Structure 1
Amino acid sequence: MNTEQFYLIFLKAKKVTIDSRKVEKDDIFFAFSGDNFDAATLAEKAVESGALAAVVENKEFENTEKNIFYVPSTLEFLQELAIHHRSQLNIPIIGLTGSNGKTTTKELIHAVLSEKYNVQYTFGNLNNHIGVPLTMLSIKPEHKMAVIEMGANHQKEIELLCTIAKPNFGYITNFGKAHLEGFGGFEGVIKGKSELYDYLKNSAQTILINENDPVQLDKTQGYTPKITFGKTDSDYYFDAFSENNFVGLQFQDQKALSKLTGDYNFTNLCAAASLGLHFGIDFNKIQSAIESYTPTNMRSQVVKKNDKTLVLDTYNANPSSMSASLHNFITFEGSKTIIIGDMLELGDESEKEHQNILNLAQELGFDQIITVGKQFKNINRNSAAFERTDELIQYLKDNKIQSENILLKASRGISLEKAIDFI
């Protein structure tokens, strides 16, 4: 079974999935195997559940009469199928990456462009070598454009994802101190994320540029075609404003106030608005999209709980985003407690970067500082320092936080959101 032959089956399918528990009628099931489990054992059950076909990399489970097909690598075949599907598409594909703000920006771009177009986009956090092909294969004839988020923690990953998605437009949110261990330091982050620029340049596609970012300017100097924002002489210029801890943007004499907190979200709003204007969407509709978008993914999410304001930012954390969150949170009116957890994947820089963040938190003068994780525990000599979130939960059961405002910020692996119910 080659890619072009299988593509004829794919065109009849409802969706592609790698989760046997979510197989529905007319789906295609790709059996991904781990170290301790061979998903090919579930292929026949998937077909019996209504799957149109299943793909396995264990030949003993092949059964072509039941549309169970063997390939040497289900991952490579999934990627090849996505590449072939991309070659059949004649719609704008917007690719974006960056150290911070990828998912929020993706959601904002989708919200804005959906005011005029039927837009497919990366669902959740499916932004890696498996998620990007799955997203590409979810693009149907009714979709008029797509927004593809690309995540990476090593060199050459963005390069690979670009060969699959083949974006016509690209945007890098920023370059920050994220995944330093995998990228080999901050310069490695810049090089790895800029693989998106390399692809766009080599294929003469359009780059969206924040002209207030010196790295973006340097990496795209002299390049066209491009869309720019950030300066008064850019293609699009926006002023920032804030109300009740929420950030907004003003275009000419019109304002749009988001439900996002943090000045760092201003450029995310600008990127979405710029693409909306570029694709001919009236700012009244852009305003509506921005004001209607409500974050629900623990990224810059503000929620009211009883008499307290909680800022939930527990999906990811690195030194750049942590610093920005602390600087933003200190501007809130009223008493303030921060609960910050370890920032993962920092390698040799980990101890230094955690110490820098703890120093910053102390300098800013929060009413209470609570830390979670081994790295912070090693350097935080206060009593409110815990290795694990379950220890924090036990503390919260016996010690009610008195502050009016509470920030929760940590890497995903700390699972800090589990403590929300006990605040």
Structure 2
Amino acid sequence: MTAIDSLYQHYLKHRIICTDTRNITDNCLFFALKGDNFDANTFAEKALTSGAAYAIIDNLAYKTSNRCILVPDVLSTLQELAAYHRSKLNIPVIGLTGSNGKTTTKELINAVLSEKYKTFATKGNLNNHIGVPLSLLSLTEETEIAVIEMGANHQKEIEFLCSMAQPTHGLITNVGMAHLDGFGGFEGVKKGKAELYAYLKQHLGYAFIYRNSPYLLEMSATADLDKVVYYGAAQSDSISGKLAKTDPFLEISWNKDSSSYQTTTNLTGSYNFENIMAAIAVGSFFEVSPEQINEGLSGYQPKNNRSQITKTENNTVVCDFYNANPSSMSAALKNISLLNAPKKTVIIGDMFELGNESTEQHKIIADEAAQLNVCTLILIGKEFYALKDKLNANFFSTPAEAADFLKANAIKDNLVLLKGSRGMALEQLLPLL
């Protein structure tokens, strides 16, 4: 029996995986991962005394009992175990990536598929080299379909995550100006995301492709995919649709073969059209009835501050501050311009990981924002602040400075867009709105 076979037998008896001693549950497996500022090997004994069945470690100095399983590298072992477990499950796995809309699309697909199947979808944003294996190890024999979100900020990451998740089906939401620094520019983004298509081609998997995206069509043609399901706005597609209403929430009119259907959603922003259509296409492929598809879509409530409309005591706030890049920021600004409201305020924060293009991209977005007919425009962060002498707006270096402004200049009865990169922590401004 190989080392991974032996560890897998322990896993089958102890299916809960923990990587943080603050979250230890009885009879779990504790994986002592290392971080930039910690070495969880030092917490192995604490994990065992807190109830863990075994601790997987990679430092001999902390092997205090036979319940400490020594491996060459804890992270690699976690990933290998996840891939091994995935290989034992004969189920469809939908691999999902993209520059924008990954999590929303994942949740919509999950909502639709759950109307018919026992579906697992990545929790939160556990979509990296640690999150994906933890997601895979959450799959059970009862799972009928899995939706695994895969994030990346460098080339070869999607290829690696695919080697673990082994997707049978895949979907790229879109490609945009995100993580330009790590990918080496927009062409690098396209190349990195297309690694999903390459995996599907090699393993005879199905790809769901939004036909209205020239970039996705180009990438899929380069991959020479054999099995493709197209969706979009073209009537020639087997699954097509159009926006029937956009203010404040989206309503979609969609067609499957020769029949038409209408669905309401709790999502704002026309940019979510393609995310909704992706869920319809995936649901239809897996023979979820149109009625069930509509039920899943209308029942989905956006959360985690993605395209989420929140009514406060004073305003209606479009909470979209989970993350930001030039593509999603531009889409959010366009959406706020289309929504009907007598008074509007736009508060946007810096966009991270743009590398050499950061200055230019922030100038483009600031110019777009300045063109809007809004009562108050607030730009926050060092990149935006560098433009303070070039535009007529309220500029602040930090959210704390913006907070002081909002305390002195209360905004009331406005439709407010609040959007920025996660690192800007713009949620701290919401209580002031």
* Counterpart in the other structure of 1:422: 432
Report the alpha carbon displacement of residue 217 of structure 1 after superposing the two structures with TM: 1.4
* Counterpart in the other structure of 1:356: 364
The answer to whether the 8 A contact 2:31-2:74 is kept is yes
Whole-Å separation in 2 of the counterparts to 1:353 and 1:35? 30
Report the alpha carbon displacement of residue 246 of structure 1 after superposing the two structures with TM: 1.1
Q: Which amino acid aligns with 1:335?
A: K
- 1:24 alignment partner, SS class: coil
* Counterpart in the other structure of 1:224: 226
Q: Which amino acid aligns with 2:186?
A: F
The answer to whether the 8 A contact 1:101-1:268 is kept is yes
Q: Deviations over 1:274-329 (max 9, x none)?
A: 11111111111111111111111100001111242100000110111000000010
* Counterpart in the other structure of 2:148: 148
The answer to whether the 8 A contact 1:337-1:403 is kept is no
- Structure-1-length-normalised TM-score: 0.97
Whole-Å separation in 1 of the counterparts to 2:208 and 2:303? 26
* Counterpart in the other structure of 1:236: 239
* Counterpart in the other structure of 1:13: 14
* Counterpart in the other structure of 1:78: 78
Q: Which runs of 5+ in 1 are unaligned?
A: none
Matched, 1:25 2:32: no
Matched, 1:173 2:176: no
Q: Which runs of 5+ in 2 are unaligned?
A: none
Q: Which amino acid aligns with 2:419?
A: K
* Counterpart in the other structure of 1:407: 417
* Counterpart in the other structure of 2:253: 250
- 1:115 alignment partner, SS class: coil
Q: Which amino acid aligns with 1:350?
A: S
Q: Which amino acid aligns with 1:392?
A: A
Aligned CA distance change for structure 1 residues 415 and 243 (closer, same or farther; 3 Å): same
Q: Which amino acid aligns with 2:226?
A: T
- 2:239 alignment partner, SS class: coil
Whole-Å separation in 2 of the counterparts to 1:367 and 1:216? 38
* Counterpart in the other structure of 1:42: 43
Whole-Å separation in 1 of the counterparts to 2:354 and 2:246? 35
Whole-Å separation in 1 of the counterparts to 2:203 and 2:429? 47
Decide which of 354, 366, 375 is 1:367's aligned counterpart. Answer: 375
* Counterpart in the other structure of 2:292: 285
Matched, 1:319 2:355: no
The answer to whether the 8 A contact 2:246-2:268 is kept is no
- 2:153 alignment partner, SS class: coil
Whole-Å separation in 2 of the counterparts to 1:254 and 1:35? 51
Report the alpha carbon displacement of residue 364 of structure 1 after superposing the two structures with TM: 2.4
Q: Percent identity?
A: 46
Q: Which amino acid aligns with 2:138?
A: S
* Counterpart in the other structure of 2:403: 393
Whole-Å separation in 1 of the counterparts to 2:327 and 2:393? 26
Report the alpha carbon displacement of residue 254 of structure 1 after superposing the two structures with TM: 2.2
Q: Deviations over 1:131-154 (max 9, x none)?
A: 000000010111111000000001
Map 1:184-223; keep pairs closer than 5 Å: 184-221=184-221, 223=225
Report the alpha carbon displacement of residue 191 of structure 1 after superposing the two structures with TM: 0.4
Q: Deviations over 1:365-406 (max 9, x none)?
A: 322110111000110335621111122112211110145200
Matched, 1:124 2:132: no
Aligned CA distance change for structure 1 residues 391 and 272 (closer, same or farther; 3 Å): same
Superposed CA RMSD: 1.3
- 1:237 alignment partner, SS class: strand
The answer to whether the 8 A contact 1:20-1:42 is kept is yes
Q: Deviations over 1:240-290 (max 9, x none)?
A: 222532112222432111111111100000000111111111111111111
Q: Deviations over 1:314-362 (max 9, x none)?
A: 0110111000000010112221110000000001101110000111111
Whole-Å separation in 1 of the counterparts to 2:214 and 2:287? 28
Aligned CA distance change for structure 1 residues 35 and 224 (closer, same or farther; 3 Å): closer
How many residues align structurally?
A: 422
* Counterpart in the other structure of 1:259: 266
Decide which of 380, 394, 403 is 2:388's aligned counterpart. Answer: 380
The answer to whether the 8 A contact 2:265-2:298 is kept is yes
